[in-house]
Structure 1
Amino acid sequence: MTDTVLVVEDDADVRETTRLVLERRGFAVHTARDGAEGYEMAMRLRPDVAVVDVAMPHVDGLSLTRALVAAGGCPVLLLTARDLPDDQVTGFEAGAFDYVTKPFDSRVLAARLRALIGRTCAPTGVERYGPLTVDRDAQIVWRDGVEITLSPTELRLLWLLLDNCGIVLTRSTILAEVWGRSGWADDHLVDVNVQRLRARIGPDLITTVRGTGYRVDAS
């Protein structure tokens, strides 16, 4: 099955160029001219991934990313000229899966998209961890029989912690595994997302190991 990509970009030239280079790399590509149209198309078409420009009028890329995360939509790769670490952290905190700066190499963008699509395909099977029941294939989590809505980032974080039950994971390990970043670490990004996950699944399952990282105790 062909991987589908939604390109959300207000600049017509950049939008068309991105569409062409991705189609040449084997993707089926849909395009949207702004964040509002992008959200509607993402909800209707359910693409495998969205490539979203950050600097768009009215509904910018970060707002669109947050909206897609809240609605359980497709994962987002942000495509932008902003390349400072703070900009990247802001993008990941909004819920983006990856971040590529302009100008981009088409081979690199295609490789990052395929890696992202592969990374968001969870293993199959229903599993139980204490009060949690998870169906990784359907991307559904229940606590004590009640379904919990989690964002794509929260799901990736939960899968990682559950796969390492009883093991302390450092913040740098979590950052590398969940966000694909090993060259730099930002404790705040990890801490914020762990707190969000705790608020969803309950504060009793994730233990903070001071000065090191986090551990899940659910058997």
Structure 2
Amino acid sequence: MSITVLVVEDDEDVRETTRLVLERQGFTVRTAADGAEGYELALELQPDVAVVDIGMPRVDGLTLTRMLAGSGTCPVPLLTARDLPEDQVIGFEAGAFDFVTKPFDSRVLAARLRSLVRRTAPPAGPESLGPLEIDRAARRVTRQGEALTLSPTEYDLLMLFLENRGIVLSRATILREVWGDSSWSDEHIVDVNIQRLRRRVGPGVITTVRGAGYRADAA
């Protein structure tokens, strides 16, 4: 599934760097230099997600977020150099779904955007992941016509791999996206749960990438 991202950022260097790193991660990216241009482009494109800088001329990021949230156009993670609690409270009250602090790791940003789209997208028809067929609307996973029984954690793990097909996910990224915390000292919980998921779904779905993490093959 191709994900379209609108990047609204007045700093040209940050805007172009963000565009390039997201395109390398497989996203379709359009950009705007300020909030007014971003709002017009969002209404035209109907992107899956808009990454919005807070401080911009004409229409600032918080105002744009309110406009996009009010129109139901797309979810917005705010791009900011500050991550103070009071800034986040104001952003969430404006309708933001997440915060991305500069500077950011391109792989982490990509994973967070895919996770956000996964959480907010309307149910789609069945999708394939290797030998699996996944119906998100029914939360049903089958392999060769046989329904698989997954725990909530196993299902969340599978959805994360589905949205990141072909991309290596580190244990820290998986912890953050599935358990909401990447600061645990023992990442063994990831290995244990992935082994359980593998037993449920069978071979040909999740590959171990030595020294890096795990990947679901794109095919």
TM-score range, shorter chain: 0.5 to 0.7
Tell me the CA shift for residue 182 of structure 1. 7.7
Aligned length: 131
Q: Which 4+ residue blocks in structure 1 deviate beyond 4 angstroms?
A: 180-183
Q: Name the CA distance, whole Å, in 2 between partners of 1:75 and 1:85.
A: 20
Hey, what does 1:44 align to over in structure 2?
44
Q: Name the CA distance, whole Å, in 1 between partners of 2:72 and 2:40.
A: 13
* Structure 1 unmatched ranges of 5 or more: 125-136, 138-179, 184-219
Hey, what does 2:62 align to over in structure 1?
62
Q: Name the CA distance, whole Å, in 1 between partners of 2:93 and 2:18.
A: 25
Task: Give 1:1-219 correspondences, 5 Å limit.
Answer: 1-123=1-123
- Name the SS of the counterpart of 1:90 in structure 2: helix
Deviates more, 1:50-59 or 1:21-30: 50-59
Q: Name the CA distance, whole Å, in 1 between partners of 2:63 and 2:51.
A: 14
1:36 maps to amino acid: A
Tell me the CA shift for residue 2 of structure 1. 1.1
Tell me the CA shift for residue 58 of structure 1. 2.0
- Name the SS of the counterpart of 1:79 in structure 2: strand
CA 1:70–1:14 in 2, change beyond 3 Å: closer, same or farther?
same
- Name the SS of the counterpart of 2:55 in structure 1: coil
1:54 maps to amino acid: I
- Name the SS of the counterpart of 2:15 in structure 1: helix
Normalization by structure 2: what TM-score? 0.56
Tell me the CA shift for residue 57 of structure 1. 1.5
Tell me the CA shift for residue 89 of structure 1. 1.2
User: Residue by residue, what CA displacement relative to the aligned partner does 1:34-55 show, whole Å, maximum 9, x if unpaired?
Assistant: 0000000000000000000001
User: Residue by residue, what CA displacement relative to the aligned partner does 1:75-112 show, whole Å, maximum 9, x if unpaired?
Assistant: 10101101101111111111011111001111110000
- Name the SS of the counterpart of 1:18 in structure 2: helix
The Cα RMSD (Å) is 2.3
Q: Name the CA distance, whole Å, in 2 between partners of 1:85 and 1:27.
A: 30
